[in-house]
Amino acid sequence: MHRIYGIKNCDTMKKAIAWLNAHGVAHEFIDYKKAGVAESHLPDWLTRADWTILLNKRGLMWKKLSDAERDAVDQAKAQKLMAQYPALIKRPVLDTGSDLLIGFDPDLYAEKLK
């Protein structure tokens, strides 16, 4: 079974889950804000995906950070920020067991989940 991580009230999450349901893809939703799994999963995720893709710099949480927090971000700092503020993790993160799909792209889902 695939695991999809994100935040329940996120519109992109809703689209991704609707796509999975419509295509009969078994999945388990994990709200990483409530379940507190972001910090424990980040080391694995960062070996399977580029931190620049995983870190959401376009969201409201990024804009709320101080200039010092946003300055000179590298992988170590990004990991620390995402652990502290899980809303900085791009949504959804879909773990298929073999692939880690970040963000929702219906074409990529169709290709990877056939």
The catalytic residues are 10
Q: Which of 51, 44, 49, 50 is nearest to 77 (CA)?
A: 51
Burial of 91 (0-12, 13-18, 19+ CB in 10 A): buried
In the numeric block, which tokens belong to residue 109?
Answer: 């889902």
Q: How far apart are the first and last CA of the chain?
A: 14
* Neighbouring-strand partners of residue 27: 2
Helix, strand, coil % over all residues of the chain, rounded to 5: 55, 15, 30
